[in-house]
């Protein structure tokens, strides 16, 4: 009995460690701002817009994968263990961390060059907030009981 419990706990810990992380918990990787030194303010603005769009897009994919992994874990541990194989998925943590680092490097470069990018930063924050609200609404819709 004791060995079965230890075995079950070991398997559960490996499975839980395989779950995708939430997009908010993924840290930015260091990206040197030197690569953007030749950019002018307009190019920096355009690149910030591109990177922030991609960050939000990948964050949505990452959060969706986390939800799928959580569901597969619940089903796998309680009902049907082969469902745990569905947790092997599309974790975008590495790419998301790199893009967050690029965004920070672009911001540093813009500050050094005294570019006014406040509109782009505000737009990026609004996109992120909208994505979070959509995720919350989708989560409530999925968990709402059928009437």
For 102-127, the pLDDT digits (tens) are 999 999 999 999 988 877 777 777 88
Judged against a pLDDT cut of 80, whether residue 15 lies above it is answered with no
pTM of the entire structure? 0.63
For 37-62, the pLDDT digits (tens) are 999 999 999 999 899 889 988 888 88
- Cα separation of 106 and 52, whole Å? 11
For 130-140, the pLDDT digits (tens) are 877 876 777 65
Angle made by CA atoms 4, 7, 10, in degrees to the nearest 5: 150
CA distance readout (Å), 82 to 78, 94, 122: 11, 27, 44
- Cα separation of 116 and 139, whole Å? 37
């Amino acid at each position: 009995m004791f060995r079965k419990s230890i075995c079950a706990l070991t398997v559960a810990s490996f499975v839980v460690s395989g779950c995708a992380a939430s997009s908010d918990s993924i840290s930015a990787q260091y990206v040197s701002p030197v690569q953007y030194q030749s950019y002018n303010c307009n190019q920096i603005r355009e690149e910030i817009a591109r990177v922030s769009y991609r960050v939000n897009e990948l964050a949505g994919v990452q959060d969706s994968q986390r939800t799928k992994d959580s569901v597969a874990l619940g089903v796998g541990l309680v009902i049907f263990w082969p469902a745990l194989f569905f947790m092997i998925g599309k974790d975008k943590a590495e790419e998301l961390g790199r893009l967050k680092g690029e965004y920070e490097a672009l911001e540093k470069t813009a500050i050094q060059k005294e570019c006014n990018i406040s509109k782009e930063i505000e737009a990026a924050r609004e996109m992120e907030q909208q994505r979070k609200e959509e995720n919350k609404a989708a989560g409530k819709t999925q968990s709402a009981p059928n009437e």
